[in-house]
Structure 1
Amino acid sequence: MRGARKTWIVAAAAGLAVAGAVPVVAAVTQDDEGPAETTARESGERGALVDAEPFFSLADGEAAADELTGNGFDASHAEHGVDLWRLTYRTVDAEGAPTTASGVLALPRDAGQRLRAVSYAHGTEVDRGAAPSVNRGFATAPPVAYASAGYAAVAPDYLGMGEGPGPHPWMDVPSETTASLDLLRAARAFASEEGRELAPEVLVTGFSQGASAALGLGRELRDGGDDYFGLGALAPVSGGYDFAASQLPAVLDGRVAPQWAVAYSAYLLVAFDRLHDVYETPADVFRAPYADTVEELFGGDHPGEEVMAGLPGSLDELLTDEGRRLLAEPTGAMADALAELDGVCSDWDPEAPLTLWEATDDEQAVNENTDACLASFRAAGVDPDRRDLGEVDFEGSRHIGSHVAAVPEIIHWFDGIS
């Protein structure tokens, strides 16, 4: 699998084992469309809408509130019913070749024709079936929250997740960026079919892996990557913004719990090798018997609990001396890949409101990541706000707790941005 890109940040057990996928329902058909619309759907352009399928609907604000509280989220902003669709759209893969990806579009009922858009990027999943567009529940709660508050919410699955083909390029900011931007384009086209209009200034947020993805999309929008959309605000949550100098040292020295240290290390090495060729054979970096199984385990077709069960309990059981060295003292392709990942906060000015959100003593994405991101932005003359959500907890995880706690606060923050 050399040359096929990949990446990850473990989202925690709560994020890896959410409710089962909702069956695919009948696709939206366009038999009565004119030639221009048919041409747009059949074009190979990035962001062209391939298909739209109804996912699920919530009749009113009360139904939306029930959906949110049933998944552990605050419902204080739920005022509107919500209709969700699964969109399939054209984009490019991590090597720049044409492919397709999927994602969610959530539109509020009775909120007017013109809507401000929120792009929400989810945290790490290892199973393509856990992505927002195919798994109703915890994964869809954020787009429901934003839509029920009156926004048009989009949530990309990323490449290789949901209905997208191939392996997922975990923590690959360039492909997260293209997948996110192209979903916005597809969502704009479909919203127009529904008689709705998306405003051009996008409010961008994301959690964990999605925090880096949000920053990548924000930079692309700021740089004029789309002729219509621009950046309205940025609200990343609990990101791994500084893998080389902050996250990996914490993984290796025991500050990240062993189960997550093992999962992060395995996913990172497999993912980066697919894209950047960082080892010759799995046996160079993984000990037996895991060298024979770990690449397939992170192929996208195993639920989170199966992945965790297929890994050892410690890094010493997982990694060879060479595997540990690649993480502790990265060189060559590994160092280059980490530099690309860790550049999301460096050398750019969003020219829009920016707040970084975190939990106190995050047990997975250590707080030094946010320290480093803030320092990078300040070196570029930017002074972001920092919001510590405190000792939040969700099913034993402050990392996931920061995600759940941040959503209603970010809605309130977005509401105050004109």
Structure 2
Amino acid sequence: MIKNFPRIAALTCAALVATAPLTTTAAAAATPARGALVKAEQSARMTSGEVNAFLGKAGFPAIENAKGVDVYSVSYRTVDVKGRPTTATGSLVLPQTSAHDLRVVSYSHGTMADRRAAPSVASTGEGRLLPVYFAAHGFAAAAADYLGLGEGPGAHPYMHTATEAGASVDFLKAARTLAQQHQVTLDKRIMVTGFSQGGHAAMALGAALQKDRDLDVSAIAPISGPFDVEHAEFPAAVDGGLDGRSAAFYLAYWLTSMDRVYDIYDEPSEAFRPPYDAKVTDLLDGGHDQESIAAGLPSTLEELLTPAYLGKLGKPTGRLLKAIRENDTTCRDLRAGAPVRLFAATGDRDVVPANSASCLKDLQARHVDATLTEVGDGNHFASLRLSLPKVLAWFQQRSGAAVG
């Protein structure tokens, strides 16, 4: 989740050097396996100086001994919310290094309602910045778009735990195939992080990796994730604990997405007041940019939702409750073995810090090595900026790499 469509999504970078597309295509199979590589295209190549210039425009400090990076847009096989075969996309960023064996950081991005902001297609913004940041420090950085974003077909099932995890695991497998084509072996012990919706996705991915035959997870570091919609996020939205415009955006996105999966209302007018009932589904179809979405939604939840549905959010039942509880499991699905470092900001009014406190409680109840670091009284985006150096340092310590 990203507060009021923050400036990071609009950042430009003259230092980004696009290259001519280099495309590889995996051999087709009668029944393609999940995680099979469909195609990969090199979308950018940046020297170390260009990397620092690119990150510097977004306010990142210069990285001493930064690596140059090669950026690949990847299409691969996965499954949709009903388990049917589909494709999804993501971005793999490889450091320019003589090393042939690389540790992997999987970065799960925050809320994106515009499919063109996703890692595989964006040239700026969070989807490009964060994978480049980790690759510049010598990691192979994998960033799945999730279903329905980037070049993936259909609508994005926002905050749907099973497909956040499934698409991310499958992308890591496709990334391994692509890396091998470039004589690089990716370590199977994945370090996982993510911001906002990506914090939720990172926890889901960590649990899925523990069950996978081919991959494993060695560290999980979610930043400001909405882990407890039922007991933390929705109550804050209803009681005014969230920024009004942010609450309207997140709830509109969540409700329209979950309705496609769980049929949580019979007609949009059951949940949304006019004129939003007639336009909200189309507005959040993945084809509108952030500015259009912001202009098309109200500044408060009370303006967006009918009084009856607003009341249901406070006391959910039926299909609405099922949608909430089936996707509120990320911190209860992880088992002991992979350490977790949670990060949150006390001033966050997009994803209230009670989400991370609830997650910590669930993890400790399962005897997971877990801590929660409060990074200050900053807002939602500040939590990412303040947490990243701590996440990086921990990952470097876990991988035996030198900081910087």
Q: Which runs of 4+ in 1 moved over 3 A?
A: 9-12, 19-27, 74-78
Deviates more, 1:62-71 or 1:145-154: 62-71
* 1:163-242 mapped onto 2 (5 Å cutoff): 163-223=151-211, 225=212, 227-242=213-228
Task: Say yes or no: does 1:317 pair with 2:303.
Answer: yes
Cα shift at 1:19: 4.5
Matched residue, 1:331 = 317
Deviates more, 1:348-357 or 1:45-54: 348-357
- Three-state SS of the structure 2 residue aligned to 1:118 is strand
Matched residue, 2:402 = none
Task: Say yes or no: does 1:66 pair with 2:53.
Answer: yes
Matched residue, 1:6 = none
Q: Which AA in structure 2 matches 1:339?
A: R
Tell me, in whole angstroms, the C-alpha distance in 1 between the residues paired with 2:104 and 2:348.
29
Q: Name the TM-score, length of structure 1 as normaliser.
A: 0.90
Contact kept, 8 Å, 1:238 with 1:365, in 2: the verdict is: yes
* 1:13-412 mapped onto 2 (5 Å cutoff): 13-14=5-6, 17-19=9-11, 27-30=21-24, 38-39=27-28, 44-60=32-48, 62-76=49-63, 79-139=66-126, 140-223=128-211, 225=212, 227-392=213-378, 398-412=379-393
Q: Which AA in structure 2 matches 1:18?
A: A
- Three-state SS of the structure 2 residue aligned to 1:112 is coil
- Three-state SS of the structure 2 residue aligned to 1:159 is coil
Number of residue equivalences? 396
Contact kept, 8 Å, 1:16 with 1:130, in 2: the verdict is: no
Q: Which AA in structure 1 matches 2:101?
A: R
Unaligned runs of 5+ in 1: 1-8, 32-36, 393-397
Q: Which AA in structure 1 matches 2:88?
A: A
Q: Which AA in structure 1 matches 2:157?
A: P
Contact kept, 8 Å, 1:208 with 1:238, in 2: the verdict is: yes
Contact kept, 8 Å, 1:15 with 1:125, in 2: the verdict is: no
Residue-by-residue CA offset, 1:320-341 (whole Å, 9 max, x unaligned): 1222123111111111111122
Cα shift at 1:28: 2.8
Deviates more, 1:200-209 or 1:265-274: 265-274
Residue-by-residue CA offset, 1:59-82 (whole Å, 9 max, x unaligned): 12x221111111222343662110
Tell me, in whole angstroms, the C-alpha distance in 2 between the residues paired with 1:148 and 1:279.
46
Cα shift at 1:43: 5.7
Q: Which AA in structure 2 matches 1:199?
A: D
Root-mean-square deviation (Å): 2.1
Contact kept, 8 Å, 1:76 with 1:408, in 2: the verdict is: no
Matched residue, 1:3 = none
Residue-by-residue CA offset, 1:32-73 (whole Å, 9 max, x unaligned): xxxxx6357x8611111111111111112x221111111222
Tell me, in whole angstroms, the C-alpha distance in 2 between the residues paired with 1:189 and 1:11.
36
Q: Which AA in structure 1 matches 2:252?
A: A
Deviates more, 1:405-414 or 1:179-188: 405-414
Residue-by-residue CA offset, 1:130-185 (whole Å, 9 max, x unaligned): 11111112221110111010000000111110111110000001001111011101
Cα shift at 1:389: 1.4
Residue-by-residue CA offset, 1:211-264 (whole Å, 9 max, x unaligned): 1111111001112x2x32101100000000111111011111111111111112
Q: Which AA in structure 2 matches 1:188?
A: R
Using a 3 Å threshold, how does the CA distance of structure 1 residues 280 and 365 change in structure 2: closer, same or farther?
same
Contact kept, 8 Å, 2:343 with 2:374, in 1: the verdict is: yes
Contact kept, 8 Å, 1:92 with 1:100, in 2: the verdict is: yes
- Three-state SS of the structure 1 residue aligned to 2:59 is coil
Residue-by-residue CA offset, 1:256-310 (whole Å, 9 max, x unaligned): 1111111122112111111100000011111111110011011111111111110
Q: Name the TM-score, length of structure 2 as normaliser.
A: 0.93
Q: Which has the higher contact order (CA 8 A, sep 6+)?
A: 1
- Three-state SS of the structure 1 residue aligned to 2:169 is helix
- Three-state SS of the structure 1 residue aligned to 2:193 is strand
Question: What is the percent sequence identity of the aligned residues?
Answer: 39
Tell me, in whole angstroms, the C-alpha distance in 2 between the residues paired with 1:255 and 1:135.
32
